[in-house]
């Protein structure tokens, strides 16, 4: 297999610790209301289900999505919150922490291929996250730019256009199976499921490659690139 000319990434859950940071924020909100005995993993997973359905309805700015889905979730669990909590959650995404392997992996990967983002967020939020990484991407496609959230297809088409590449020359990598692997597969991209949490495959689709973290992913791409070099030397 030849190395891809570009890798497009999901950001939140792949490069940013999406699940862990949401759980952290929920714990903080609840602790401020004197509650410390809630399973915030369950709350976060239910929030993600509600959020996924909500972003399929129509395009809304992601700050608005965050603002509206926290109350939906907390009300289901009969958990307390106030407007300040909602505003804090909606304004926190750009500061959510990276996985420990993100920065060095991206820097190493840039030696072998172009890198880009296809991300379900707003331009302003992703700018904050990229500033944390300190890495320059060859293209950044947001839901705001595409006018639709993944698993919608617009972002993938925009990525091809901005990178000046065909889908056959790009590998799409992400943690979100239904957000990333499914639509990219349907469109004919090669895919890599970066399954950081060891999740069970949720639907009957098959990714091209499967790894558990970014370090392993970079080793895979490096191996492809070095094989290409040996082949054509």
Mapping DSSP to helix (H, G, I), strand (E, B) and coil, where does residue 197 land? coil
12 and 24, same domain (yes or no): no
Say whether pLDDT at 26 is over 70. Answer: yes
Half-sphere exposure of 50 (CA within 13 A, CB side): 19
Give the DSSP letter of residue 95: G
Give the DSSP letter of residue 169: G
pLDDT per residue as tens digits for the range 91-113 = 999 999 999 999 999 999 999 99
CATH number at residue 117: 3.40.50.1000
Please pick, among 10, 17, 122, 138, the residue that the annotation labels catalytic. 10
28 and 12, same domain (yes or no): no
- Check: CB of residue 103 under 8 Å from CB of residue 212: no
Q: What tokens does 174 get?
A: 């992400």
198 and 101, same domain (yes or no): yes
How far is residue 233's CA from residue 58's CA, in Å, rounded to a whole number? 51
Sheet holding 139-142, edge to edge: 139-142, 114-119, 6-9, 170-174, 190-194, 209-211
Query: Which of 56, 77, 95 is where one domain is finished?
Result: 95
- Check: CB of residue 7 under 8 Å from CB of residue 114: yes
R_g of the chain, CA atoms, integer Å:
18
Say whether pLDDT at 232 is over 90. Answer: no
88 and 38, same domain (yes or no): yes
Query: Which of 95, 113, 136 is where one domain is finished?
Result: 95
User: Which residue pairs from 187-190 have beta carbons closer than 8 angstroms and sit at least 24 positions apart in sequence?
Assistant: 187/153, 187/156, 189/8, 189/156, 190/4
85 and 178, same domain (yes or no): no
Q: Compute the mean pLDDT over every residue in the chain, rounded to the nearest whole number.
A: 95
Model confidence band, residue 202 (pLDDT cutoffs 50, 70, 90): confident
- pLDDT attached to residue 228: 60
134 and 27, same domain (yes or no): no
Residues 132, 60, 116, 123: is their CA dihedral positive or negative?
Answer: negative
131 and 172, same domain (yes or no): yes
pLDDT per residue as tens digits for the range 42-72 = 999 999 999 999 999 999 999 999 999 999 9
Mean pLDDT for 210-226 is: 95
34 and 125, same domain (yes or no): no
Query: Which of 31, 66, 95 is where one domain is finished?
Result: 95
Rounded to a whole number of angstroms, the distance between the first and last alpha carbons of the chain is: 16
Helix (H) or strand (E) holding 171: strand 170-174
Give the DSSP letter of residue 98: B
Residue with tokens 């109350």: 71
CATH number at residue 53: 1.10.150
Q: Can you give the residue range of the structural domain that contains 131?
A: 6-16+97-232
How many domains is the chain partitioned into structurally? Answer: 2
39 and 87, same domain (yes or no): yes
- What percentage of residues in the chain have a pLDDT greater than 90? 92
Active site residue 17: no
pTM of the model as a whole: 0.94
């Amino acid at each position: 297999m030849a190395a891809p000319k570009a890798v497009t990434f999901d950001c939140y859950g792949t490069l940013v610790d999406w699940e862990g940071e949401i759980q952290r924020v929920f714990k903080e909100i609840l602790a401020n209301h004197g509650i410390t005995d809630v399973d915030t993993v369950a709350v976060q997973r239910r929030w993600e289900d509600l959020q996924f359905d909500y972003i399929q309805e129509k395009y809304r700015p992601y700050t608005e999505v965050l603002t509206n889905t926290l109350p939906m979730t907390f009300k289901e669990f009969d958990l307390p919150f106030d407007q300040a909590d909602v505003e804090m959650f909606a304004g926190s995404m750009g500061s959510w922490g990276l996985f420990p392997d993100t920065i060095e992996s991206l820097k190493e990967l840039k030696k072998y291929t172009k890198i880009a983002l296809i991300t379900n967020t707003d331009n302003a939020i992703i700018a904050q996250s990229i500033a944390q990484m300190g890495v320059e991407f060859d293209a950044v496609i947001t839901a705001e730019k595409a006018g639709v959230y993944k698993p919608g297809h617009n972002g993938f088409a925009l990525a091809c256009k901005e990178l000046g590449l065909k889908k056959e020359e790009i590998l799409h990598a992400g943690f979100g199976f239904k957000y990333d692997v499914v639509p990219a597969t349907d469109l004919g991209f090669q895919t890599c499921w970066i399954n950081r949490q060891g999740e069970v495959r949720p639907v009957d689709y098959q990714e091209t490659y499967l790894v558990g973290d970014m370090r392993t992913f970079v080793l895979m791409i490096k191996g492809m690139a070095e094989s290409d070099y040996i082949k054509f030397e």
